[in-house]
Amino acid sequence: SDLQKQEERGELLQPLIFVLLVLCSILLYFKVSLMDPGFVKPEEEEGEDKGQGVVIPQIPGDIKLRRCGYCLVKQPMRAKHCQLCQHCVRRYDHHCPWLENCVGERNHPLFIAYLSVQLVVLLWGGHVAWSGLYFEQSREWLQHNIFLLVSFLLIFIFTIVVLLLLVSHLYLISCNTTTWEFMSHHRISYLQHSQLENPFDQGIIVNLWRFFC
C-alpha cells in the first residue's frame, strides 16, 4: 500500500519523531510543574550544620544558618522561602509563573531538559512553517498564508525567549550559581561575607558534572 511504501522510504519517521518530541516536552512540563522542587521539611533539620561545612568550606564559619521568618524551619545554605509556594526551597533558583512552581534543587535539571526539548520543537516547527510559505505581493496570498505567517512569527518570538532562558541558565550552572544568587548577591549574607566572589564555583567541568550527574 502507499502507506507501507512511505514507511519503507522513511517518510513517516520525521513526523513520528516530531510528535514524540512534543509529547516529551508536555510530559516534562507536567513533571517539573507538579514535582517537589526541594522543599525544606522540619524533620530534615538534624545534621544540617555538619553537612553544610563539608560541602562549602569557603564560607566563613561565623555565618550561622537562620530560621525562616515565614515557615520557621532552619534554612540550609542556598535555600530561600517562596511566598507563592509557602515553602523554603533548597538551592532556590526562581519561581516560574509558567510552571506555577519553584525551580530548585530537585527539578532544576529537568527544567533544563524541558527547555532543551522545547527549543528543538520550536526550531523544527519554525522550519516547517517557513517551508510552507511562498511569498507574493497580493491580497490573495495574504489570505491563504496568514495562518502560517502568524504561526511563524509566534514560533520565532517563543524561540528567542526559550533560547535566552536556556543560555542564561546554562551559564549560571557552569558557574555553580543560581538566578536568585546572581540577582541578589548584595543581599545574601553568605555571599557578602565570603572572600570569594562565588564560593561555590569549582570549575566548569565539575560544576556541570555535579549539577547533571
| Residue 94: inside a domain | no
Q: How confident is the model at residue 4 (pLDDT cuts 50, 70, 90)?
A: low
| Residue 184: inside a domain | yes
Q: Which domain holds residue 143?
A: 2-37+100-212
Closest C-alpha to 113, from 161, 162, 159, 80: 162
Mark residue 178 as left, alpha or beta (left: phi above 0; alpha: psi -120 to 50; beta: remaining): beta
pLDDT at 50 (0 to 100): 46
pLDDT at 186 over 90: no
The total domain count for the chain is 1
Active site residues: 96
| Residue 206: inside a domain | yes
- SS3 track for the chain: CHHHHHHHCCCCHHHHHHHHHHHHHHHHHHHHHHCCCCECCHHHCCCHHHHHHHHCCCCCCCCCCCECCCCCCECCCCCEEECCCCEEECCCCEEECCCCEEECCCCHHHHHHHHHHHHHHHHHHHHHHHHCCCCCCCHHHHHHHHHHHHHHHHHHHHHHHHHHHHHHHHHHHHCCCCHHHHHCHHHCHHHHCCCCCCCCCCCHHHHHHHHHC
Q: How confident is the model at residue 6 (pLDDT cuts 50, 70, 90)?
A: low
Q: What is the pTM of this model?
A: 0.83
Predicted confidence (pLDDT) per residue in 85-103, tens digit: 999 999 999 999 999 999 9
| Residue 135: inside a domain | yes
pLDDT (average), residues 180-208 = 87
pLDDT at 1 (0 to 100): 44
pLDDT at 52 (0 to 100): 46
Predicted confidence (pLDDT) per residue in 122-176, tens digit: 999 888 888 766 666 666 766 777 787 888 899 999 999 999 999 999 999 999 9
In this predicted model, which residue has the larger pLDDT, 12 or 182?
A: 182
What is the distance between the alpha carbons of residues 27 and 6, in angstroms, rounded to a whole number? 29
| Residue 44: inside a domain | no
Predicted confidence (pLDDT) per residue in 65-86, tens digit: 778 888 888 888 899 999 999 9
Instruction: Return mean pLDDT, the chain.
Output: 84
pLDDT at 21 over 70: yes
What is the distance between the alpha carbons of residues 110 and 37, in angstroms, rounded to a whole number? 10
pLDDT at 54 (0 to 100): 38
Question: What are the two backbone dihedrals, phi and then psi, of residue 101, each rounded to the nearest 5 degrees?
Answer: -155, 160
| Residue 53: inside a domain | no
